[in-house]
Amino acid sequence: LDPATPIYATKFVMNLVERRMKEYNLWQPHRFKTFEVGSKFPVGPFELESFRVTHSIPDCIGCILRSESGTIVHTGDWRIEEKPVDGDEFDRATLEKIGQEGATLLMSDSTNVLSPGRTTSESDVGVALANRMAQHHGKGRIIATQFASNINRLGMLKKAADACGRKLAFAGPSIAQYLDACNKAGRAPFDPSELLDIEEAIEGYDSNKLVIVTTGSQAEPRAALNLAAFGASPFLKIQPEDLILYSAKVIPGNESRVMKMMNNLAGYGCEIAMGRGENLHTSGHAYQEEQKEILKMVNPDNFLPVHGEYAFLQHHANMAEQECGIRNTNVIRNGQMIGFGAKRNGKQVGDLGSLSKVVGNVKLFSFYNDGGKGTGTSEQMQLYERIKIAQEGIVFTNVEVKNRVQGPPAQARGKTRASRQREVPTGIQVNLRITARALWIDEGRLISEMNRFVKTRLRDMPVTSSLNEIEKVVSEELRRCCKSHNNKRPEVIVMAHDAGVGGMSSGSGDG
């Protein structure tokens, strides 16, 4: 985004944004604007009105963008929670009103479009969690894993733990960060001060009264549960009497690593509860019947499915046409720009109520931050060079040339070029200082080999060679030596200078 682009968010989300922006030195208070759910305010040519949707975190919203040219409705991430645990109900009334006013375009979440029926309630998950905890009464610890952002689930875990006489402790900083952001917004399901310190809880608290909530439901390499599964956690050691509650969904693409983690956990002899039959998870994204309800309620002139694989978007569009009576649907790919407008006269093609057209494409690229103020594209952040150095290593070489002659020798002046080349003496003499990093040097043997390769080649070079020519030859020989010795292609940096220039002392100086 343009650094001047304003960012709008509800209080809970803005707390998360502020922490992350400060972490990377990108926080600019004047740019970030907080608003309340249901508020209206201008954004460019639009008036934006937010409306509440239910999801797995507090204060989730959809947006209505009104302009002179039409009205756009964007649902954001949503589902219809009939029994919301935080008391905030899905705002059907606003969408019904939009359906009566008329919407030019509806954009809606397609994540679970292949799932029939409706999502189950978070309160039902809470009952299942409490029942599973009760079954483990007096048998040892309970370790639960979930998405760190799922604050509603965290509230259900706390409620179930309270009912079973257990206390919570967090393993993994991201869960605590989400709860802290929620608490600052006044939306936390419980007081964070009620949590036990994780290391104190593991060392001294009664295991029959402890629930450890961990990160790592997707087997992220550095997450707490994954580290524990491979015996790499500094404090969490899996015991045979533990019960693992997998209160999440395996995201497509993560199946292999999640099952590897679960297999390792099972190897400790602990009990694992996961899978649809356990009812320990419900999705934050609408199933088919909820999606149909919103499509019929808003009844837009145009429908553009968003948020999902291309096949999901196509399925959502087909469902809107075939089962909800939406006559104009479009599916676009990342980077495509599409425009919508009302028909002006009967000469325009078709008998539908509106027109849509792909109006262009934009090149998409990612921005990267290097942990400080450096932010830019992969080219600007030199990612290719960084990866190459990490994989292949880097070699720095300082070349002090002791006998270079600038211009032809006196005895060769006045002769033809061919005869001069025959008579120019060869044999560049140098002092080399070679340094290798992120590269196997075979206990110094590689450095010795590089010295030999370079000096052997320089013996055949005319003493009138330029510094640029010497640098090029040295680079070639260093690369050839590394390829021969350890099959690596390191980044090579060579700096050549005449003796007495560049600060290199006499002698070999190899290292």
- Specify the DSSP element, H or E, that contains 364: none
C-alpha distance across the termini of the chain, in Å: 46
Q: What is the pLDDT of residues 431-476, one digit of tens each?
A: 999 999 999 999 999 999 999 999 999 999 999 999 999 999 999 9
Q: What is the mean pLDDT of residues 395-418?
A: 74
Confidence at 13, pLDDT banded by 50, 70, 90? very high
Looking at residue 367, its pLDDT comes to 84
| Mean pLDDT value across the chain | 90
pLDDT for 369 equals 79
pLDDT given for residue 417 in this prediction: 55
| Average pLDDT for 360-376 | 83
Which tens digits make up the pLDDT trace of 211-252?
A: 999 999 999 999 999 999 999 999 999 999 999 999 999 998
Predicted confidence (pLDDT) per residue in 49-61, tens digit:
999 999 998 899 9
Strands 368-369 and 375-376: antiparallel
> What is the average per-residue pLDDT within 349-358?
62
Tokens of 351: 């008998």
Higher-confidence residue of 416 and 283: namely 283
pLDDT of residue 374: 78
State the Cα angle at 83 between 211 and 98, rounded to 5°: 135
* Residue % of the chain over a pLDDT of 90: 79
| Burial zone of 14 (CB within 10 Å; 0-12 exposed, 13-18 middle, 19+ buried) | buried
Whether 146 and 57 have beta carbons less than 8 Å apart is answered as no
Exposure on the CB side of residue 496, measured as CA atoms within 13 A? 21
Return the pLDDT at 509: 44
Burial class (CB in 10 A: 0-12, 13-18, 19+), 31: middle
Q: Could you tell me the CA-to-CA distances from 177 to 162, 171, 192, 378 in Å, in that order?
A: 22, 12, 11, 29
Tokens matching residue 315: 């399925």
Q: What is the pLDDT of residue 145?
A: 97
Q: Which residue has the higher pLDDT, 49 or 502?
A: 49
Query: For residue 334, what are its two tokens?
Result: 């990342």
Question: Mean pLDDT across the stretch 343-363?
Answer: 65
Alpha-carbon distance 267 to 263, whole Å?
6
Rounded to whole angstroms, the Cα distance separating 284 from 256 reads: 23
**Alpha carbon distances (Å) from 47 to 37, 43, 71, 180, 182:** 15, 6, 9, 32, 28
CA dihedral 157, 162, 163, 165 (to 10 degrees): 120
Q: What is the pLDDT at residue 510?
A: 47
User: What whole-number distance in Å separates Cα of residue 305 and Cα of residue 316?
Assistant: 6
> Does residue 191 surpass a pLDDT of 90?
yes
- Name beta bridge partners: 70: 67
pLDDT band (50, 70, 90) for residue 4? confident
Edge-to-edge strand ranges of the sheet holding 142-145: 167-171, 210-214, 142-145, 243-246, 271-273
| Tokens standing for residue 502 | 């560049």
Q: Give me the pLDDT at residue 351, please.
A: 44
pLDDT, one tens digit per residue, over 102-160 is 999 999 999 999 999 999 999 999 999 999 999 999 999 999 999 999 999 999 999 99
Beta strands in 17-141 (DSSP E): 32-34, 40-43, 46-52, 61-67, 70-74, 105-109
Q: Is 391 strand, coil or helix? A: helix
For residues 298 and 96, give the distance between their C-alpha atoms in angstroms, rounded to a whole number. 6
Residues across the chain: 511
pLDDT, residue 356, reads 83
Q: What is the predicted pLDDT for the residue at 408?
A: 58
CA distances 33 to 44, 155, 269, 338, Å, are: 15, 28, 50, 28
- Residue located via tokens 């590089």: 450
